[in-house]
Amino acid sequence: MDNKDLFKKFYDELYKDILNEYYTSINDELENSKRKKTLTIIFLDIIPTILFWMIFFSKEYLLFFIVLTLIYNISLILFLKMIQKENRLNIYKEIKYKILDDFITLLSQYENISIFPNKQISKDSFDKSELFNLEKVNYSGSNFIQTSFENKVLTIADMEIFTYVDKEKKEYVTIKGKKYLRTTKMKQKKDIFKGCYLGSESKRKNDIIIQIVPDKLNKNKKYYRLCGNKIDFESIVLNDTYDVYSNDELKVRMILTVPMIEKINELNNIIDNPKYIIFKPDGRYSIFIEDMTIEKILDNIKVTSNDEERFENISNVYEQLFKLFMIVDIMNNTK
């Protein structure tokens, strides 16, 4: 029985009912929101309009009264619709994070999950990864998740690394019939990395033993803090996919044994997105997976009454999270 069959069994026996409760709560809150909107329209729209006409009505200014009333009514209705839409989005977001909490608990078999949608990895811990050159880049993050997996603390978080580069904008302007070339200098945001972080959030300082990065950093290379020298390996797959950097080639070759290289190559069969892998002397590691975020995974959750479609959406979320835990499992058990 493959993983999707196992999840289908779990869904049919248990999770379908839980999910129905979530969606029922959505419908209840939306219905409650509609009732509030109706009452608000009555008190802030209909009643004030009637009172306004009764007190200030004048045939001489009939057109003015009609136009003013229409503007007020339309503005109020649009404002209430905007608030209702925002409430709906907030309700959907709450459901998404409930589902995320359920799946992380299921995959990690750990109940004390912490999920912070708006929190990023601390700057101190980000600096300890020693992958990005902090003098040249900025970073932000969200969807900070902390759990335990195989008796080790596991942190998952979305990260965005970016910088600002100088850009020249050239355009011709005409002054008194003559054309002049005008050059304007401006700052433009440049994305370096957008993706997901896996590892442990720790403030302990160790030297990096190994950095394994995609073999094509191109012109972005100056934004990375690559340690030591590039080391070549006999593994064609590894050399075609990654560049390995370290200050100690002897230690690298002791750690990157043939079985371990095979495991690292296996990661691409799970998720083929570019990956950055960092090893510390005490066995800790960090993995940055490009173009894969918790936010993108949660976008698979759609509100639908169609059970097959709902299962497909929800199973896609589970499958993507399952892949992250497969990677962690491989890295935890690689010797």
- Per-residue confidence (pLDDT) for residue 202, from 0 to 100: 63
CA distance 39 to 36: 5
Report the share of the chain in percent with pLDDT over 90: 23
Residue 1 banded pLDDT, cuts 50, 70, 90 = very low
pLDDT tens-digit map of 247-279: 888 888 887 888 888 888 888 889 989 999 988
Mean of the pLDDT values across residues 150-160? 91
**Three-state SS at 119:** coil
**pLDDT for residue 225:** 87
Tokens 């080391």 label which residue?
231
The residue type found at 19 is L
pLDDT digits (tens, 9 = 90+) for 5-56: 888 888 888 888 888 888 777 666 666 666 666 666 666 666 666 666 666 6
**Nearest CA to 157 among 123, 207, 205?**
123
Q: Per-residue pLDDT averaged across 46-75, rounded?
A: 68
Q: For residues 285 and 332, what is the distance between their CA atoms, to the nearest angstrom?
A: 9
Does 143 score more than 90 pLDDT? yes
Q: What are the tokens at 101?
A: 């909490």
Provide the whole-model pTM. Answer: 0.78
Q: How far is CA 112 from CA 9, 105, 147, in A?
A: 25, 8, 7
The residues, ordered by sequence, that sit 6+ positions from 70 with a Cβ below 8 Å of its Cβ are none
14 vs 235, more confident: 14
Residue 93 and residue 73 in contact, taking contact as beta carbons nearer than 8 Å: no
As a whole number of angstroms, the distance between CA 163 and CA 138 comes to 6
Element (H, E) at 329: helix 307-332
Task: Look at residues 22, 278, 268, 298 and name the one whose alpha carbon lies nearest to residue 142.
Answer: 298
The residue-averaged pLDDT of 209-230 equals 83
pLDDT tens profile 165-189? 888 777 777 777 777 777 778 888 8
